[in-house]
Every structure is written in C-alpha cells, then in structure tokens.
Amino acid sequence: MIVASPSSLYSDLDVTAELDAPLGPHTWFGIGGRADLLIHPNSVEALATLVARCRRDGIPLRVLGSGANLLVDDDGVDGVVVKLDTPYFKAVEYNAEGPVQRVRAFGGASMEALVQELPRRGLTGLEQMAGIPASVGGAIRMNAGGKFGAVGDAVDAVAMILPDGSQRVFRRDEIEFGYRHTNLPKGIVAWASFIVREDDPAACRERVKEYFKYKKSTQPMDAASAGCMFKNPTMPDGSRESAGRLIDLAGLKGLRVGHAFVSDKHGNFLGVELGATTAELCALIEAVQQGVKQRHGVDLETEVVYWKRGEGA
C-alpha cells in the first residue's frame, strides 16, 4: 500500500501515471484486477529515480512487460507497477557504420517486432524467438525460448537498473543463461544488445517462417493464454520431460474449471473464455498440478508469473 501521497513519487519526473489502473487488458489472459498506481516512464533517468524512491519508502514495485507471461489476482496489486511502453523504451538501435554486428533494444521493445524486422534488414541472430511473445526485458529475465533456442543465445550485454536505482551493464561473460533462468540480479532491464550478422534477407525470412509455422502447428496460438503454463520438469535421471506430455498422459487435456480450460491441442496451454476469473484459472492450475503429481509423482512449477496484493516484488 502507498502510505505517502502517490504524486510525491513521480510528480517531478518525466512519466505518465494512472491511479487505480486495470491490468487485465495489459495481459494475454485478459483477466485480473487493478494496480494502485501504473507508471509509464519516458527515460532511464526517470525510471531509476522512481526505483530509488520506491526502495526508500518501502513501496512494492513490479515491472509489466508484454503481459504474455503474467497472471494478475482478481483483487489486483498494491504499490507501483511500471510499464516500459513509451517510445523511449520501445526503441531499437543499430550500429551506424560498417557491417551491423550489434543491435541494442530497450526493455520495452517488442521481441516479436524485432524478430520480424531483422530479416528485412538482412540480419540473422534472433530467429529462434519467432512466435514467442515478449518484451525484450521480459525475455531476458526468464531467458525465453523454445525448440530452436533461447534469447540468451544472442545476448551481448544487458543494462540493469538495480533496486537502489543505480545502473550497471553486465557483459555476456558475466551472465549465466539456463532453462528459463538467468543469474542477473533483481532489477529492471533497461536495454540489451544482441549479436547479429548479415545474411541473405530471403534466407532469414524463410527461417522465421519455418520456426513460426512449427510453433503454430503444435500450439493453440489463438487461445487467450500465456503460452506454456508450466516449466518442463527435471526427472530423476537429470533429463527434462515435457510438461505438456505429462499432462496429456495424466488425462487432463480438456479439463475445465468454470471458464478456464486445459487446451485439447497442447496440455501445457491453459486458456480462458469470456467471463473467466483469475480464481478459476488458479483452481485449474492446482488441479493440473495435483493430477500430474498423482499420476507421475512429479511436481510441476509454473512458468507464468503470478501477482497478488500484499506479495510485493
């Protein structure tokens, strides 16, 4: 809860602020409550100052990316939610002289748009992200990826705003990328640079189409969902098993709780219909976890982030 006057946090900063802002429309599920305060910064400096003030005043701060991997509680969230959706934070820059070898994308830039733009410029390096919805910052934080690779495969450097408002650039050799994980500290991704190289534009476009076609053929991309709900678990022998396969073998495809359902096409996709609540989807998540535990003895961990009032970031 914000104890001091909310405006004291941002009135002198280059930001746009919304009080009691609905968050559902900002997520792929389209459900969930409201944010006490939603702020859209227009510069790194404004964002860094806001972060420092939230730390100083003990105010919870959360970062909202594309909303493709987020579930918001029906009662919403307290504190401050930051969304990097202004032109400043959606910018993408290319080195101006010589062959393009680096691309710098700010934290709010669309990974989907970047994946489409690089082939137009005859650049390769991020095709593996085709069909994976995310902001650049969100993709970096969880090392988003799929069958063909992950975003970390192309990362050169990441600039972070740390919880005290300070800024630091992490080089590639300082960052460990694992399955849906990085060792980056808590904080906000201000920008990331990616290693790219020049290639035939037609060949680049063809790879993107091929990867996207595969994803579309195996996943219900038209459903109101957040993609894969659960991480692929590590089995006793050290291998990773498909969470979707375990859900399928447990006979849970098509399972419903109210307006929330397990996809008939891919067991790891949980979707919602018009009128759904977060409570219904949470009940479905628990039912799937219990079903897989009973059938396979495996605990499924959610990949989707859950925001709840009183549980500040």
User: 């493709």: which residue's tokens?
Assistant: 68
Catalytic residue among 121, 180, 205, 295: 180
Tell me, yes or no, if 282 is annotated catalytic. Answer: no
Enter the DSSP assignment of 233: P
Between the CA atoms of 70, 65, 139 and 166, what dihedral angle is there, to the nearest 10 degrees?
-120
Pairing type for strands 61-64 and 77-83 reads parallel
Is 228 designated active site?
yes
CB neighbour list of residue 134: distance below 8 Å, 6 or more residues apart: 65, 66, 68, 69, 111, 112, 144, 151
Chain position carrying tokens 């990362």: 155
DSSP-derived letter for residue 31 is -
HEC string of 123-186 equals EECCHHHCCCCCEHHHHHHHCCEECCEEHHHHEEEEEEECCCCCEEEEEHHHCCEECCEECCCC
Is 54 designated active site?
no
Distance CA 134, CA 145 (A): 10
What's the rounded Cα separation, in Å, for the pair 213 and 288? 28
Phi-psi region at 143: left, alpha or beta (left = phi > 0; alpha = psi -120 to 50): left
Q: Which of 141, 228, 280, 309 is catalytic?
A: 228
Tokens of 247: 């859900």
**What are the tokens at 252?**
């849970």
Enter the DSSP assignment of 162: -
Enzyme catalytic residues: 180, 228, 303
